[in-house]
Structure 1
Amino acid sequence: MNPAIIVLGRRWRAGGWMVMRRFLAVVSGIALTWALMPALSSGAAPAVAGPCMGAPAAEGTTYNETRQFVDTQAWWMPDTDQANNSITNTGHAHLGACIPERETISSGNLTVNVRVILHDNPGTADYVAMVFKTSDTEKTVQKCYLRAAATNFTCPGPSRTGKGDFTCTGTCERWLTFSRPISAFNHSGLQDVRFRGFIPEPDGKVMQTNFNWQVGIQNGKSPSDVSRDAFLRGKGWYTHAKYCEASVRSVALPDSPVSGVWTPVLGLTSRTDGSLPATRSFISIDPDFHAVPSNAGAVLWDSAGPYGAEPFGSAPISIDTRTLANGVHKLHLRTSCRDNKLGSTNSGVTVIPFTVAN
């Protein structure tokens, strides 16, 4: 078997790249024996070309590696005892994409189609930035502006004002396409990719959506795995409130169907950088909050405070998949951080797909 095939199929876990690199350095130019094969392939997952798991129909792309459609959201909405008005309620903003989470990219560009949704949001959406973060650098590698008249699956430039001009009444959707060569990462190994969307609101405040995930990069540069907060997370950010985060600590996301009792590890917490503490955490399967009446789905957790100790704590949750129909489902994670000064509540949401087969 060609060792390159194994490398391309490897899922990136803690320390995986350094172990692989040292191994290949030893066996470079030497035929692998069957005795070595079990150790080399341990923890590997074959790259599977095909459509993205859980993707909306508009995405419709076939990829060279396994991808899942992950949706992240920022909410600025009042709690039940907070006044509901145009200042305290600026609705939702979504960033969703088919991501090669902890898959390996070894040539060409990292290309990602990003869906932006505004829901009851009175702001004028500006732009989304793609950021590459390695162990020692963080740089914005591409900006795509949100333009009212732009064609989907492009990367528009700014309007004459130097900003985006996308506004929405009700629920509106735009697709942006980001694509940058993997040589733009200044290291190989496990690297961090971030999308940040900016929506200035009418009162001068700013809503920001944040979507962080990791990918394995083989670009021939010096290996250095990113290690700080190397897990999938969606963060809502609002002026004064700062970050509120919902994260998945089980890496990587399941490529294959789950069955029986599935126990992912989650963290629904806040940060220690001046952000407000988590005041409520909510976990559900297949909710639809835009339905009339709203559908909360199969609620697994709904409680005051974080899920997992602050800051950045985590805890497992047991999901009995035998209670679910076979097929694709969505796990919804929402962390809320109440802002008493501004009279509303900032929330960060992450939604991941998973397939059940019992």
Structure 2
Amino acid sequence: MRRFLALAAAAALACMAMTGLTSSPARAAAGPCLGAPAADGTVYGETRQFVDTQAWWMPDADQANNSITNNGHVHLGACIPERETISSGNLTVNVRVILHDNPGRADYVSMVFMTATSEIVVQKCYLRAAAPDFSCPGPAGSGAGDFTCAGTCERWLTFSAPISRFNHSGLQEIHLRAFVPEPDGNEMRASLNWQTDIRNGKSPSDTSRYTFLRGKGWYTHAGYCEASVRSVPLPDAPVSGVWTPAVGLTTHPNGSLPTTHSFISIDPDFHAVPANPGLVLWDSAGAYGPQRFGAAPIAIDTRVLANGVHKLHLRTSCRDDKLGSTNAGVTVVPFTVAN
């Protein structure tokens, strides 16, 4: 079943969506991070949004629900300077990790600087049960993290690396990756990928591979399942009327399992009891956008929303019949409505 708002604009914008670039919305002044949880009250030197990516390993309705097929999910969220300019000092990112009904022992989060030919792990912060928030702990005596949770628990990490660590100036790509080994020997990972304009005095070389915001869930055997925002940059200034960002809810083009379901909504709360799906814009079998890394516009009539901050939830599901469950990747981005 499909439910959506004002999708008549989709055909006219489809060609623009496929490029991965749309016209840039107005940029706002630096300050607090848009949509940030209360724990992160940092005033940043450039505009930032709190973007949350999630990896889910949960069975479909017709798959058995047991300790092997249901490992809940892991959130990996951060106030990111998406498409902003940083010209001095360090790239500093506060990262929130949430385990929700996840029996795994969370290991670590890495920050990776990407180029066209290489990736550099510039920092690893381990997830430790007793470490203070907003630190970057080393491993436990076992050589790994030791963060476990019954129910819902969160930890905050702080990454900071000088921008001289980037090999070039210009549009550079940053990845955050969270690793959670599960009791059955498999592993769940959540990844958040974005681009920042780095001015470090080195030779210019803009990244050109997948230059848009991506949130990915990864699970052993299933590979990546991805939800992306192709309209870049994210809107710093308020939106009004019918806002039509281009998004892609499709599988990763690297041999990962195909997308079997796609879901888009505004302001859901799946931790509520009962779960609140929010204002559902799309809920359908298959991908949103052409399979294997496609994209399409989604029309959001902001006039039916209250003025203020809202969250756009994108979820891509990739069923794994071999392991008897479903891998999902989620991306959640904030936006402000002002009609």
Distance 2:142 2:64 in 1: 34
Partner of 2:264: 283
Superposition deviation, residue 49 in structure 1:
2.1
Superposition deviation, residue 14 in structure 1:
8.9
Partner of 1:258: 239
CA deviation digits over 1:272-325, x for unaligned, max 9?
A: 322000000000000000111110000000000000102110000100000000
Distance 1:46 1:245 in 2: 27
Equivalent pair of 1:246/1:350 in contact (CA under 8 Å): yes
Distance 2:152 2:59 in 1: 19
Equivalent pair of 2:25/2:236 in contact (CA under 8 Å): no
Distance 2:325 2:279 in 1: 26
Q: 1:47 to 1:258 in 2, by over 3 A?
A: closer
Secondary structure at 1:178 match in 2? strand
What is the TM-score of this pair, normalised by structure 2?
0.92
Equivalent position amino acid for 1:93 in 2: V
Mind listing any 5+ residue stretches in structure 2 that lack a counterpart? 1-18
Partner of 1:68: 49
Secondary structure at 2:303 match in 1? helix
Is 1:355 equivalent to 2:336 in the alignment? yes
Distance 2:27 2:310 in 1: 23
Distance 2:182 2:50 in 1: 27
Q: Out of 80, 97, 102, which is 1:116 matched to?
A: 97
Secondary structure at 1:62 match in 2? coil
CA deviation digits over 1:219-257, x for unaligned, max 9?
A: 000100001101101000000001000000000000000
Partner of 1:93: 74
Equivalent pair of 1:135/1:224 in contact (CA under 8 Å): no
Give the alignment's Cα RMSD to 1 decimal. Answer: 1.5
Is 1:239 equivalent to 2:220 in the alignment? yes
Equivalent position amino acid for 1:82 in 2: Q
Aligned residues: 320
Partner of 1:179: 160
Distance 1:272 1:44 in 2: 29
Equivalent position amino acid for 1:70 in 2: V
Equivalent position amino acid for 2:217 in 1: G
Secondary structure at 2:153 match in 1? strand
What is the TM-score of this pair, normalised by structure 1?
0.87
Secondary structure at 1:183 match in 2? helix
Q: Give the greater-gyration-radius structure (CA).
A: 1
Secondary structure at 1:322 match in 2? helix
Partner of 2:278: 297
Equivalent position amino acid for 2:247 in 1: L
Once the two structures are superposed, the pairs formed by residues 1-358 of structure 1 within 5 Å of their partners are 48-358=29-339
Identity between Structure 1 and Structure 2 (%): 77
Q: 1:334 to 1:175 in 2, by over 3 A?
A: same
Equivalent position amino acid for 1:121 in 2: N
Partner of 1:10: none
Equivalent position amino acid for 1:217 in 2: I
Equivalent position amino acid for 1:254 in 2: P
Equivalent pair of 2:24/2:233 in contact (CA under 8 Å): no
Distance 1:135 1:47 in 2: 30
Distance 2:74 2:136 in 1: 19
Between 331-340 and 305-314, report the one with greater CA deviation: 305-314
Mind listing any 5+ residue stretches in structure 1 that lack a counterpart? 1-12, 16-41
Secondary structure at 1:63 match in 2? coil
Equivalent pair of 1:55/1:98 in contact (CA under 8 Å): yes
